[in-house]
Amino acid sequence: MFRVLYKHLLPRTTTHFNLYSVVLHHHHNPHLIPPSIHSSAATKNYTTSADIPNSLISLFSNHGFTKTQITGLISKQPMLLQFDANNALKPKLDFFFNLGVSPSKVANFIASNPVFLIRSLQNGIIPVFNFLKSYIGDDDAAILTILNRWPKLMDYNLEDLITPKIALFRDHGVTDCDIIKLFVSSPRTLGLKCDRLNEIIEMIKKVGIDPSTPRFSYAFRIMARLNKLHWEKKLAVFRELGLSESDALSMFKKNPFLFTLSLETRVIPRGAVLKILKSKGLIKEKLKVTTVLKAPEKEFLEKYVNKYQEEVPELMEAYKKGWG
């Protein structure tokens, strides 16, 4: 996926976009009909193609959009009705469909994010693509993935947003390859402040994961979903299950995803069952918490609840209530 040109990893251009400037741009462009915020089109739900001008239907159909996609994107972005089909919208569609990406993927991208069609092609879309290519090379599919996962990326000054984060990751020893993987898989993490990013990286180091190793990018994505309060709360719950802090950190290092499991619906209910079974000597003390947490629901109930239902009838109730 990544045909990376590392020598251009740090961009030199500055790109900043604002929706109001885009609207003004269209207002002064003779090829476009100025959008009206108060237009009745903005509140209408376009459920059938009969509500949409033939020029737009033809334009989108010729680019491979289905009727459902056409009505859907107009409902999401009714301002499109006020743009000239051939002069304003066609060049943007041509740009996207001339990328090295399958037409169906491009159509799905536009249908999900029609807001890109109200952006200026020359002053918005193309500069953003050029900027992102300076990071990840000519991988248009990866760029669409980034924009699909975080469309609001276009609202930022990209150099101010991204360049300091790249420098921070590098200072901690994160490889360019892993930085790019993070960028593509979790672009929103680059919207975090540098202080927060640094805190996450330090927490991962404390766990024992070297930022220069491939394991780092996955651990980072998991850790970024946990604020400090949630992290401490999860550690406290694991201590209730008999794990020391070093055991819990080791568990994160080996199985980071376990820290994404819901405390209320997974960890605590299963922990309650585990504590009862251990207190009654029905299971081995050495049974790993990870084994219990990883088990699919059906398997867990069969092995640890239904199996002991006659001996410990309160197990199911404990499972449903957790440990209070």
52-155 CATH pick, 2.60.40.10, 3.40.50.10490, 1.10.760.10, 1.25.70.10: 1.25.70.10
Instruction: Return the pLDDT at 86.
Output: 94
The C-alpha atoms of residue 287 and residue 63 are separated, in whole angstroms, by: 58
The C-alpha atoms of residue 166 and residue 161 are separated, in whole angstroms, by: 10
For residue 132, which amino acid is it? L
Structure-block tokens of residue 186: 């979790």
Instruction: Return the pLDDT at 240.
Output: 87
User: Per-domain residue ranges for the chain?
Assistant: 52-155, 227-323
For residue 115, which amino acid is it? V
pTM of the full predicted structure?
Answer: 0.72
Q: Say whether 209 sits in a helix, a strand or coil.
A: coil
Instruction: Return the pLDDT at 136.
Output: 86
How confident is the model over 148-195, as pLDDT tens digits? Answer: 999 999 888 999 999 999 999 999 999 999 999 999 999 998 889 999
The C-alpha atoms of residue 17 and residue 124 are separated, in whole angstroms, by: 7
Instruction: Return the pLDDT at 44.
Output: 52
How confident is the model over 199-218, as pLDDT tens digits? Answer: 999 999 999 999 999 999 99
End-to-end alpha-carbon separation of the chain, Å?
47
Q: What is the largest CA-CA distance in the chain?
A: 81
DSSP characters over 250-278: HHHHH-GGGGGS-IIIIIHHHHHHHHHHH
How confident is the model over 220-244, as pLDDT tens digits? Answer: 999 999 888 889 999 999 998 888 9
Q: Span 250-279, mean pLDDT?
A: 92
